[in-house]
Amino acid sequence: MPTLNQRWRSGRDSYRLPDEVIRTAEYDVTELPDDTLAKAFVLEHHYSGSYPAARWRFGLFHRGELQGVAVFSHPCNDRVLTNIFPGRATDSVELGRFVLLDEVPGNGESWMLGRCFALLRREGLAGVVAFSDPCRRLNRQGIPVFGGHVGIVYQAHNAVYLGRGTARTLTLLPDGSVLSDRAQQKVRSADQGVRYAVARLVACGAEPPSSFEPSYLATWLRQWKARLCRFLRHRGNHKYVWRVARRVRLPLGLPYPKQLDP
């Protein structure tokens, strides 16, 4: 599995052989003007069921049909970018979501990334950071819902590998998806986006909260996490970087990882 190219449909992963060649004359990569189309596509097909803080988003179209989306976003922590690239955090981006449907041939990701980077170069960006998650996950019934990936497409596109991100403990919902720390904080603080985070817990069996006061929601979250969620120690995602501007110098990379976490 780690040497194959990962694809998605309706939140389930599948795999294509890396030596399949995309017929580029049949495809177009186009910048999407707003989040409407990209967000709907990502929420329908990506395993995370979430959408990042997008700055640019691009669609892969096959004869007019949307078959892939790349979302370049701003991470929660500016240091994800500024620890690697010089200047302000807004001078670089994270590849926050990258989703191709299962019918796209094996090397479609590399070709689409190349087209996206060419378009981003016109924006004067310094570089791009991307992460791959090598930790496989099961739902409560023991059925695999995410196979994990080591970033084969990033390696094929000559990214520099910088090792692991921060190790952490994941909060898993019964369906095997992750209830992120950010979503949990939105519930505790009743911040914007709280209703979406609450709805995910309710869909998994939690009783709807009777109040959206922060103190009540904090207690509600703690109780339903204890009843519904499992916890998984994660060693950290693999971190990859590319320079977009030719002036940028990247650190020496480490050997590419090849195996999923046990």
Q: Give the span between the Cα atoms of 43 and 33, in whole angstroms.
A: 18
Closest CA to 238 of 226, 219, 256: 256
The phi, psi pair for 80, rounded to 5°, reads -55, -35
* Bridge partners for 197 per DSSP: none
Q: Are residues 49 and 69 in the same domain?
A: yes
Residues 221 and 141 in one domain: no
Which amino acid belongs to residue 194? V
Q: Answer yes or no: do 106 and 199 share one domain.
A: no
Tokens 């097909």 belong to 45
Question: CB atoms < 10 A from the CB of 222, how many?
Answer: 12
Burial of 81 (0-12, 13-18, 19+ CB in 10 A): buried
Closest C-alpha to 99, from 47, 150, 169, 143: 47
Residue 37 lies in a domain: yes
> Under DSSP, is residue 28 helix (H, G, I), strand (E, B) or coil?
strand
The 8-class DSSP code of residue 74 comes to: -
Task: Give residue 72's Cα distance to chain centre.
Answer: 10
Beta bridge partners of 15: 6
Name, in order, each residue with C-beta under 8 angstroms of 164's C-beta and a sequence gap of 6 or more: 235, 236, 237, 238, 239
The gap between the terminal CA atoms of the chain, to the nearest Å, is 13
- The tens digit of pLDDT for each residue in 93-130 reads 999 999 998 888 778 888 999 999 999 999 999 999 99
Residue 86 within any structural domain of the chain:
yes
- Within this chain, do residues 158 and 46 fall inside the same structural domain, yes or no? yes
117 and 76 in a common domain: yes
Structural domain tally of the chain?
2
Is residue 255 domain-resident?
no
Residues 113 and 202 in one domain: no
Query: pLDDT tens digits, the chain, 262 residues: what are they?
Result: 455 666 667 667 666 666 677 888 999 999 999 999 999 999 998 877 788 999 999 999 999 999 999 999 999 899 999 999 988 999 999 999 999 988 887 788 889 999 999 999 999 999 999 999 999 888 889 988 888 889 988 998 999 999 999 999 999 999 898 999 989 999 999 998 899 899 999 999 999 999 999 999 999 999 999 999 999 999 999 999 999 998 899 989 999 999 989 8
| 67 and 138 assigned to the same domain | yes
**Position 64 in a domain:** yes
Characterize the bridge pairing of strands 93-100 and 127-132: parallel
User: Do residue 70 and residue 41 come from a single domain?
Assistant: yes
The reply to whether 124 falls in a domain is yes
Report yes or no on 155 lying in a domain: yes
Residue whose entry in the numeric block shows the structure tokens 């994990």: 148
Residue 80, Cβ neighbours under 10 Å: how many?
19
Structural domain for 76, as ranges: 5-167+234-243
